[in-house]
């Protein structure tokens, strides 16, 4: 095995950054979006999903080991990579050079979004002021009513956060293939990039659709129903009709 | 990509410095952009003007030398901020800004004078990682190479050490440990080449994984884009990464490939 010494520290850290980014965090991001898309089946579907997750034995430990620990490692190494970078797209406005900048920018944006996302939901559960099954009403409330100057701020913040994370994952898949030597040519890595883009497009569409549902009561930008708090979404809107 | 109709008179701005400690000044010259005129031709014209009409204010411009077949890499400068070989750059392909075309020395290598920089660090990095440019290395017998890797090894051997990739790399800087794309490319060449002694190949691979090596690459791929010799640095770096993955779990004595 390669020695774990100071000489090889940057190398080990980069590999750890790459591994934590794709394996636990990338797959968690996918699972998280799929699970939360259940909200589009109304509060009943969402509650069933939440209760299913709550039934996982040792949930807190699983969360700590598979989500929060990798997140801390990935964010810590990633922030130092991003903050030490010296972008030069002014002199070299090339597509891959833009990806280099965007990968760092979306990493920082995702980190900021996660801080907000976790503080407004997960932290409140840890402090006992919110139950996991209350997420539906809290999100419906926040995403459909938080506005500034007539602008749905919270919903836009969620869309930006999901877009940033999706780009970071898409480009990160090609990066992972490069870092581990899965691809060994520029062309091969471009193909990995295309596959990554397909994954990123899926996560963005899934996430954006869910956000739009929370904000408008409809998964697509269409008719806008009034936000109903607490009650079953589909039922509430049909009940109101004569 | 560029319009061919960029001819006629224009201003050539040269950033000049007497030495590393002296202040820089910008010298402006009117140059007629004839079709096919290279930056090296224009610089030569300036040197001629300086020598034909010597004045205490202007000393002949230091630049180059030029080999004109892109094999020495010593005329690399920045043109409007981006690294180019002067002998390879026809002026009609350079988009002139309102103030003209600005030529400056490479910013990430230590300045000697005017447009001349020192490649000493690059050469020291090559030596420290027990690699070398193909010119300095002994010639590998063609027959002993595996057919599959021969094109990559040959392509990597085209590196002239011009420094364009170092200038364009967002991770390479004088104050950082990173050896830069060119050294990684040469390390990869000598690690991949089975004609090289096995022990040396292993040592070079470990050097590539050490401080200032492979891990500092930010994957911007600017190196390949600016390389005047078309050296596939990105392929070389990914090959090193694959060998590194094997090295992670293999023993220090296990063969490189």
Question: What would the DSSP string read from start to end of B170-182?
Answer: SS--TTS----HH
- Please determine, for residue B4, whether its predicted confidence score (pLDDT) is greater than 60: no
User: How confident is residue A226, by pLDDT bands cut at 50, 70 and 90?
Assistant: very low
Region of poorest pLDDT, from A83-87, A91-95, B55-59, B111-115 = B55-59
Task: Read off the pLDDT of residues A127-157 as tens digits, 9 standing for 90 and up.
Answer: 999 998 889 989 988 898 888 887 889 999 9
Taking CA atoms, B103 is separated from B80, B82, B86, B99, in Å, by 6, 9, 9, 12
Task: Round to whole Å and give the CA distance between B67 and B61.
Answer: 17
User: Tell me, what's the pLDDT at A233?
Assistant: 44
Share of chain A above pLDDT 90, in %: 75
- Please determine, for residue A235, whether its predicted confidence score (pLDDT) is greater than 50: no
Residue B14's DSSP bridge partners are B27, B103
B interface with A, Cβ–Cβ < 8 A, is 78, 80-82, 168, 170-171, 173, 206, 209-216, 218-222, 224-226, 232, 234-235, 237-245, 247-251
CB B60 within 8 A of CB B47: yes
Task: Round to whole Å and give the CA distance between B172 and B222.
Answer: 11
Task: Round to whole Å and give the CA distance between B180 and B159.
Answer: 13
Contacts of A86 in chain B (CB under 8 A): 170-171, 173
- Please determine, for residue A221, whether its predicted confidence score (pLDDT) is greater than 70: no
Claim: this prediction has a pTM higher than 0.80: yes
When computed from its CA atoms, the radius of gyration of chain B, rounded to whole angstroms, is: 20
Task: Read off the pLDDT of residues A143-200 as tens digits, 9 standing for 90 and up.
Answer: 988 888 878 899 999 999 999 999 999 999 999 999 999 999 999 999 999 999 999 9
- Top residue of A6, A19, A89, A91 to mutate, by most chain B CBs within 10 Å, is A91
Contacts of B81 in chain A (CB under 8 A): 90-91
Task: Read off the pLDDT of residues A13-40 as tens digits, 9 standing for 90 and up.
Answer: 999 999 999 999 999 999 999 999 988 8
CB-neighbour burial class of residue B254 (10 A; exposed 0-12, middle 13-18, buried 19+): exposed
Please name the residues in contact with A11: beta carbons below 8 A apart, sequence gap of 6 or more. Answer: A2, B209, B210, B213, B214, B215, B244
CB-neighbour burial class of residue A90 (10 A; exposed 0-12, middle 13-18, buried 19+): exposed
Q: Dig out the tokens for A233 from the structure.
A: 């979404």
Task: Round to whole Å and give the CA distance between A77 and A14.
Answer: 8
Task: Read off the pLDDT of residues B143-162 as tens digits, 9 standing for 90 and up.
Answer: 555 667 889 999 999 999 99
Share of chain A above pLDDT 70, in %: 90
When computed from its CA atoms, the radius of gyration of chain A, rounded to whole angstroms, is: 20
Whether the predicted interface score ipTM is above 0.85: yes
Contacts of A8 in chain B (CB under 8 A): 209-211
CA angle, corner B116, sides to B113 and B119, nearest 5? 120
User: What distance in Å separates residue A47's CA from the closest CA in chain B?
Assistant: 43
Expressed in angstroms, the distance from the first to the final Cα of chain B is 41
Mean pLDDT of B204-226: 96
Helix (H) and strand (E) counts in chain B: 8, 7
> Which single residue is written with the structure tokens 């094109």?
B151
Residue of B nearest to A172 (CA): B219
A100 vs B200, higher pLDDT:
A100
């Amino acid at each position: 095995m390669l020695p774990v010494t100071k000489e090889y520290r940057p190398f080990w850290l980069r590999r750890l950054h790459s591994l934590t980014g794709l394996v636990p965090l990338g797959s968690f991001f996918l699972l998280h979006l799929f699970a939360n898309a259940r909200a589009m089946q109304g509060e009943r579907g969402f509650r069933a999903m939440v209760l299913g997750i709550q039934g996982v034995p040792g949930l807190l430990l699983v969360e700590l080991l598979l989500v929060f620990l990798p997140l801390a490692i990935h964010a810590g190494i990633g922030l130092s990579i991003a903050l030490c970078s010296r972008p030069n797209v002014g002199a070299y406005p090339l597509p891959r050079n833009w990806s280099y900048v965007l990968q760092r920018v979306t990493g920082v944006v995702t980190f900021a979004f996660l801080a907000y996302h976790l503080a407004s939901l997960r932290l409140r559960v840890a402090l006992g002021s919110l139950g996991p099954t209350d997420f539906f009403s809290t999100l419906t409330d926040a995403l459909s009513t938080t506005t500034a100057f007539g602008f749905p701020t919270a919903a836009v913040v969620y869309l930006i956060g999901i877009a940033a994370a999706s780009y970071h994952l898409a480009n990160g898949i090609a990066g992972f293939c490069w870092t581990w030597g899965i691809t060994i040519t520029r062309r091969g890595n471009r193909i990995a990039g295309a596959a990554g883009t397909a994954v990123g497009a899926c996560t963005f569409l899934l996430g954006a659709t869910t956000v739009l549902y929370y904000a408008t009561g409809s998964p697509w930008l269409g008719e806008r129903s009034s936000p109903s708090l607490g009650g079953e979404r589909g039922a509430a809107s049909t009940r109101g009709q004569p | 990509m560029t319009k061919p109709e960029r001819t006629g008179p224009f201003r050539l701005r040269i950033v000049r410095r007497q030495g590393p400690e002296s202040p820089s000044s910008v010298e402006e010259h009117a140059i007629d952009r004839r079709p096919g005129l290279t930056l090296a031709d224009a610089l030569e014209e300036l040197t001629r003007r300086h020598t034909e009409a010597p004045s205490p204010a202007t000393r002949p411009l230091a630049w180059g030398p030029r080999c004109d077949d892109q094999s020495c890499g010593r005329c690399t400068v920045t043109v409007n901020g981006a690294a180019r070989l002067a002998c390879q750059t026809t002026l009609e392909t350079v988009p002139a800004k309102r103030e003209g075309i600005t030529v400056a020395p490479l910013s990430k290598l230590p300045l000697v004078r005017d447009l001349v920089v020192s490649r000493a660090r690059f050469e020291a990095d090559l030596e420290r990682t027990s690699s070398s440019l193909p010119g300095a290395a002994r010639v590998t017998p063609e027959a002993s190479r595996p057919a599959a890797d021969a094109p990559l090894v040959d392509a990597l051997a085209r590196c002239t050490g011009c420094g364009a990739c170092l200038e364009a790399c967002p991770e390479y800087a004088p104050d950082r440990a990173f050896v830069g794309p060119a050294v990684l490319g040469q390390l990869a060449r000598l690690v991949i080449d089975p004609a090289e002694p096995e022990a040396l190949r292993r040592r070079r691979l470990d050097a590539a994984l050490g401080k200032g090596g492979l891990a500092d690459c930010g994957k911007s791929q600017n190196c390949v884009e600016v390389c005047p010799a078309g050296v596939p640095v990105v392929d070389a770096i990914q090959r090193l990464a694959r060998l590194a993955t094997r090295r992670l779990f293999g023993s220090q004595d296990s063969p490189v490939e």
